[in-house]
Chains A and B, each alone.
Chain A
Amino acid sequence: QSVLTQPPSVSGAPGQRVTISCTGSSSNIGATYEVHWYQQLPGTAPKLLIYGNNNRPSGVPDRFSGSKSGTSASLAITGLQAEDEADYYCQSYDSSLSAYVFGAGTKVTVL
């Protein structure tokens, strides 16, 4: 069982907005450790999508945005496109485990 909890799947029609939640606890997200998000297309290595809770690396479209509040974080995808169909993972640090931690991942399906 993952330390960070994500929904297994979310779906939306092209052009819609979807959000993915990432729920942690007082030893990780709630302890102000930063949250990062990764996109993994089938058969490829993960790609950093959001770092430091809400920052986009260069080249990442502004359709992707991140937020954090309390012990949870969220990734929003607006203007959903077919190419966004992928697995998405949140990641942070847990002080109780002294370890980086990932969520179990969320599969985004474009209807």
Chain B
Amino acid sequence: EVQLVESGGGLVQPGGSLRLSCAASGFTVSNHYMNWVRQAPGKGLEWVSVSYSGGKTSYADPVKGRFTISRDNSKNTLYLQMNSLRVEDTAVYYCARDFSNWYNTGLDVWGQGTTVTVSS
């Protein structure tokens, strides 16, 4: 079964750090563009970052310079290192797979999400 399982969310103070993990099964992450998407409470979906072949990455402006996406192909796992967290980063964070090994092909597999709360 093709599946993504996120972990690592929690409560953190403003300025703190968290690392999210997304374990993939049933497929190989190295064969897909892999993304993080977040959803603040009661709000819509917001794309955060993408990791693609050759170690290349891209970020949404609100997280640029603070978040780092990476993958460990040997563990078939995607990560999101979040530093200098702000209250407005509070959200459910989903990892999601692009349909193919190219950008913007449709996010066809999603994890269940992990909740990040930034509060003092």
A residues whose Cβ falls under 8 Å from a Cβ of B? 2, 33-34, 36, 38, 40, 45-48, 51-52, 57, 87, 89, 91-93, 97-105
Contact A45 B94 (CB under 8 A): yes
18 extra interface residue pairs, beta carbon distance < 8 Å, beyond A45-B94, A51-B99, A103-B44:
A33-B104, A34-B106, A36-B104, A38-B45, A45-B110, A45-B111, A46-B94, A46-B110, A48-B99, A48-B108, A51-B106, A51-B108, A91-B47, A98-B58, A100-B47, A100-B50, A101-B47, A104-B44
Instruction: Say yes or no: is B117 at the interface (Cβ < 8 Å to chain A).
Output: no
Total residues of chain B contacting the partner, CB 8 A: 24
Total cross-chain contacts (CB, 8 A):
66
- Residue of A33, A48, A101, A104 most packed against chain B (CB within 10 A): A48
Residue-wise, chain B 90-120 has the 8 Å CB interface mask toward A (1 for contact) of 0000101001000111111011110000000
Chain B residue numbers with a CB within 8 Å of A51 are 99, 105-106, 108
Q: What A residues does B112 contact at CB under 8 A?
A: 45
Interface of A is mostly: strand
Q: B98: nearest residue on chain A (CB-CB)?
A: A100
Inter-chain CA distance A60–B104, complex, in Å, is: 20
CB distance from A50 to the nearest CB of B (A): 8
Q: Contacts of A101 on B, CB cut-off 8 Å?
A: 47
CA distance A4 to B107 in the complex (A): 17
Min CB–CB distance A108 → chain B (angstroms) = 14
Q: How far is the CB of A22 from chain B (nearest CB, A)?
A: 13
A89 touches B44 (CB 8 A): yes
